[in-house]
Amino acid sequence: MTTITPDTTTSIRRTAVATLTAAALTAALTALPLPLTGTAVATDHGHGGTQWRGAWATSPQAPTAPFGPNWSQQGFSNQTVRQVVRVTTGGTKARIELSNRYGTTPLRITGATVARTDKGASVKAGSVRQLSFGKGRSVTIPAGGTAYSDGVPFTVKALESVTVTLYLAAPTGPATFHHVASATSYRADGDHRSDRAGTAFKETNASWYYLSGVEVTGGQAPRRDGIVTFGDSITDGVGAGLDANNRYPDELAERFAAAGKPRSVLNHGIAGNQVTNDTTWAGEKGIARFKEDVLTEPNVRTVILLEGINDFGGSLPSDFAAPTPEVSVERLIAGHRELIRQAHAQGIKVVGATLTPVGGSFYDTPAVEAKRDAFNHWVRTSGAYDAVVDFDRAVADPADPDRILPAYDSGDHLHPGDAGYTAMAQALDLDAL
């Protein structure tokens, strides 16, 4: 078993990234080993001769259950968790990223595998690959930490689904996870990390646990052309079909693949997230988590920024969360300017997106609509971004522009459905990315 300690520098280095300026972040990642006092950051993104590319990603969250039971608050003990994700770009070698960002104790991963997805929890025969961590089969991740597996030969194509399986022998305590996966995860009692069949996995849930990234290398010349989509539930894919991979970032990845130019498209949306306010159930505010979720991703060139409607609507009464402080248009603009500053300091260009319609939804008040209109006007006219995509007009009903077109509506008048997410992806200029 490999244990990551304050002296371990080959797998992770930790630094208090929340206190760093964006300009100082690059220097911090290559500095001498620092005390384990902040969030773990990998040091080999593009270093050491291996050019990793993000193939899939999601943003870690603290344990919570505002919409019903999941496995995050209890955690796991002598159980195996199997998770299916679809990669956006291919390669000949792969590794996984595991997060204990919100854990309060060290997390022991007893073993992990990666395989080609078959149906449900089953994987294709002969495809299971055992993963190692610093040459050992197990790894212990400090509270607040992140770890990467060693790379393993594993040829995968863009838009192919892969299955990552984690065996957790010791009690984990509450689990770092991603709440709204819009994908089925599977759980079994005991050690089933190497099973080809899925028969042992008798429990299912629609969240991701500990797994925060899949990266690939090989298969193409290294390029800094990755894209991160950053935002709230509309980026996260609320309203998209379960296991359908129809979130707008998925549809964008499909456009690149159809053009014969697959790209790394990484989804860092969190349902309910805000730019300016922390929440108890929807993650840290965007201006804080941007450093860890976006600026640590390898070979990213562009970020698409769609976030702010929860800042305006979060102060309204809710059945599942306490209201957050009211946010003015000026405060949200200041938050976006901060995100732009952080991105530009890392040489990342920013595509700003207008906020989509909310007419008929639980956010539909005159005050919220006035703020949305004013903010969208700023997005379109300020020149603050490197490019702009008008998601508002892409999904609005021409007969009533304050509402989502019925054909694009998931049913709650706030989140697009599958057709709406396709329309959003179609609104993006691939050349601008």
Q: Which architecture does CATH list for 223-432?
A: 3-Layer(aba) Sandwich (3.40)
- The pLDDT of residue 398: 98
Per-residue pLDDT averaged across 269-293, rounded? 97
Confidence tier at 327 by pLDDT (50, 70, 90): very high
State how far the Cα of 365 lies from the Cα of 378, in Å rounded to an integer: 20
Fill in the amino acid letter for 35: P
Q: Is the pLDDT of residue 334 over 90?
A: yes
Pairing of strands 211-217, 53-57: antiparallel
At residue 8, does pLDDT exceed 50? no
**Which residues, in sequence order, are CB contacts of 14 under 8 Å at separation 6+?**
34, 35, 36, 37, 38, 39, 40, 41, 142, 144, 145
Whether the pLDDT of residue 5 is over 60: the answer is no
Greater confidence, 94 or 36?
94
Helices (H), 86-209: none
Q: CA–CA separation, 116 vs 403, rounded Å?
A: 41
Residue 160's pLDDT is 98
Question: Mean pLDDT across the stretch 275-291?
Answer: 97
Confidence of residue 50 (pLDDT cuts 50, 70, 90): low
Q: Taking a C-beta distance cutoff of 8 angstroms, is the pair 355, 319 a contact?
A: no
201-213: pLDDT as tens digits: 999 999 999 999 9
pLDDT of residue 433: 86
Q: Which residue has the higher pLDDT, 67 or 309?
A: 309
* Ranges 9-13, 149-153, 353-357: which has the least confidence: 9-13
Residue owning tokens 């854990």: 103
pLDDT tens-digit series, residues 14-40: 332 232 233 332 232 222 222 222 333
Look up tokens 């599977």; give the residue: 186
Average pLDDT, the chain: 90
The pTM assigned to this predicted structure is 0.89
Q: What is the pLDDT of residues 217-270, one digit of tens each?
A: 998 877 899 999 999 999 999 999 999 999 999 999 999 999 999 999 999 999
Long-range contacts, 359-364 (Cβ 8 Å, 24+):
359/400, 359/402, 359/403, 359/404, 359/413, 360/403, 360/413, 361/412, 361/413, 361/414, 362/313, 362/316, 362/412, 362/414, 363/309, 363/312, 363/313, 363/316, 363/414, 364/413
Q: Give the residue extent of every domain in the chain.
A: 2-21+30-66+78-214, 223-432
Rounded mean pLDDT of 171-180?
Answer: 98
